[in-house]
A and B are shown apart, each in its own frame.
Chain A
Amino acid sequence: MIRIEHLVKNYGANCAVDDISFEVGEGEIVGLLGPNGAGKSTTMNILTGYLSSTSGKATVAGIDILSDPLGAKKLIGYLPEQPPLYLDMTVEEYLNFNYELKGCKLDRVPHLEQICDTVRIRDVYRRVIRNLSKGYRQRVGIAQALVGNPKVIIFDEPTVGLDPKQIIEIRNLIRSLGKEHTVILSTHILQEVQAVCDRIVIINKGKIVANEKTENISNAVEQSRRFNARICGPQKEVLAALRGMSGVAYAEALAERDGDAFTYTVESERGVDIRKKLFYLLAERGWALVGLESLGMNLEDIFISVVDQSEEKKTRAARGERRRRGADRTSAEREIGAGLYEDAKRQREEAAAREPDDEE
């Protein structure tokens, strides 16, 4: 349904999107995940024809957005990061304006009513948008994207700034839209894509880091191996004992104290569950374990574990190659993060080096 090929977007010397390619099948819900400034919005803006790409191609249902923008735009409903609402209009006027703007051919009254029921804005239909709460405004924005029943719906950070209840509602709404539409949504919240999407495309610094089914990403994430333990006992000895445990890759004392209990961050080796062992060890020494909490992964951890996982699938030859180079797995992980950083740095340096030439 949507095909993006080698998309590049430069803002001057700054490269926002760097050679991105992916496809979205009909009826699929795909999440673009990445930190702020990763290039998610830029990608979406290109796809919707708001921006032009520097190079590369984006097609919607086979229609190139550059060569036939009007044809492609007719197939897309778009909710930008900030909902494009005319604050001085009522919801009714706003939706009618969108209906006319998009040259919608559907029967006007039932179509708009159906949209209002879908996003549940019936009760504010005659109110001025300026007076609506953030949650309602977001829903009016979604309603706007649904006008004309487009095949593809694109949401840019649809749940930002909403309260937890509203977030759940919007997520359910997007899920239900996925039954009839192809949906792309962007977010920097992992739980969101996990809850809603069939497939996740992770973008960082303008590049695709991973393009996986949601289950695969979830598996990777569940293998979180780091946790915080609160243990009563002499700090030095406890730390030494933790470090001495088999299966512990890393242990560190935090500067946190709760009565006579200290907090330690412990990371186990891959595929080892050390929690029981930890409990027995502490019991044996007479130190009380008063708290144990698993640390969630942040986006960087996810990049690393996802990339790592997809690498595991690659051929043994590749693995052998890496061993020959003497690189162990953890340093390979670091390299990926560092590589992304280096890329950006190099680009900046090149840009800086180029500028004086221009002046001459």
Chain B
Amino acid sequence: MLAIYRKEMRSYFINPIGYVYLGVFLVFSALLFCYTTLNAGTYSTSTYFTFLIISFVILIPILTMRLFAEERKLRTEQLLLTAPVTITGMVLGKYLAALTIYVGGILVSCVNFIPLYIIGAAERAGEDMSLTHIGPVTGEIVGSLFAVILLGAALIAVGTLISALTENQLSAAIITIGVIAVMILLNVFNRLTDSDGQPLIGSYAVRFVLDWISVMSRFGNFSNGIFDYAALFYYLSITFVFLFLTVRVYEKRRWG
């Protein structure tokens, strides 16, 4: 597993893909941050994180599209599958490599918060701090970061499965974009209202189910700085289920 993990990490950086992902992610997150907080004159980061998550529709497929599709196309999967490595080990090695790049990007993007804290500190100087809190709320930021990482872990697992099902990077990417878009945007449909302010989806039951499926709706508590065990369990379950299915895909192919 470690050998495969290391190989995948290397391949992110000997191919342009790792640089493309990190470059696009960091530039985008920096611009987004300026626009949603500094430019908007607010300490709230919730808009920033919301848009960041929407950007994963495009960014996560970049990370996951080649994981298995490329191996299948070049027939190198035969090497991995005839080596003394379990299929679970192979899937985990690849998954963890993608996750590492993803988490790395998130952590580096934390430099975005530095100016917010500096401005906060400057504004606090000379103010009476006993009544109001001025500056960013660290609990919200840490909670949101944690949730974004969990959410990303789940979406990468989805992308991993789709990559294992296809033989072509491009089709893997397109299908992943579609699936992730649905998973994220379901929540948006729920919020849509008509001109009278009534929800567009009338049935409460339908909204409840859509909300339950949507990966976005679980995000709320974390972004308020509350540690939501249910959401944690939900994200980890999605991750587990999709990785498990990826392993099954390979088992199935052997028996096919």
- Selected interface stretch from B75-83, B122-130, B136-144: B75-83
Chain A residues with CB under 8 Å of B74's CB are 84-87
In the bound assembly, the distance between CA atoms of A49 and B86 in angstroms comes to 11
Interface centre among A82, A86, A87, A89 (most CB of B within 10 A): A86
Chain A residues with CB under 8 Å of B83's CB are 73, 98, 101-102
Interface centre among B74, B83, B86, B256 (most CB of A within 10 A): B83
Which of B15, B81, B86 is within 8 Å of A50, CB to CB? B81
Q: Which of B68-108 contact A (CB under 8 A)?
A: 74-86
Which of A71, A84, A89, A93 is within 8 Å of B78, CB to CB? A84
Q: Which of A82-98 contact B (CB under 8 A)?
A: 82, 84-89, 93, 97-98
Chain B, residues 59-72, CB within 8 Å of chain A (1/0): the string is 00000000000000
Known A84-B74, A102-B83, A103-B84: A52·B10 in contact at CB below 8 Å: no
Q: Is the CB of B11 within 8 A of A86?
A: yes
How many contacting A-B pairs (Cβ < 8 A)? 65
A169 at the B interface (CB under 8 A): no
Q: Which of A107-149 contact B (CB under 8 A)?
A: 144
A338 at the B interface (CB under 8 A): no
Q: Is the CB of A11 within 8 A of B256?
A: yes
Chain B residues with CB under 8 Å of A283's CB are none
Q: Is the CB of A101 within 8 A of B4?
A: yes
Q: Is chain B's binding surface mostly helix, strand, loop or mixed?
A: helix
Chain A residues with CB under 8 Å of B10's CB are 93
Chain B residues with CB under 8 Å of A80's CB are 75, 78-79, 82
Q: Is the CB of A100 within 8 A of B3?
A: yes
Q: Is the CB of A97 within 8 A of B254?
A: no
Known A52-B254, A73-B84: A97·B75 in contact at CB below 8 Å: no
Query: Nearest residue in A to B80 (C-beta to C-beta)?
Result: A101
B65 to chain A, nearest CB (A): 16
Known A70-B86, A93-B10, A100-B6: A49·B75 in contact at CB below 8 Å: no
In the bound assembly, the distance between CA atoms of A18 and B210 in angstroms comes to 51
Q: Which of B1-35 contact A (CB under 8 A)?
A: 2-4, 6-7, 10-11, 14-15
Query: Nearest residue in B to A82 (C-beta to C-beta)?
Result: B75
Query: Nearest residue in B to A75 (C-beta to C-beta)?
Result: B84
In the bound assembly, the distance between CA atoms of A102 and B85 in angstroms comes to 8
Chain A residues with CB under 8 Å of B81's CB are 49-50
**13 further interface pairs, Cβ-Cβ under 8 Å (given A50-B254, A98-B83, A100-B3):** A50-B78, A78-B82, A80-B78, A80-B79, A84-B74, A84-B78, A85-B76, A88-B11, A88-B15, A89-B14, A93-B10, A97-B7, A101-B7
Interface residues of B (CB under 8 A from A): 2-4, 6-7, 10-11, 14-15, 74-86, 254-256
Interface residues of A (CB under 8 A from B): 11, 48-52, 70-71, 73-74, 76, 78, 80, 82, 84-89, 93, 97-98, 100-103, 144
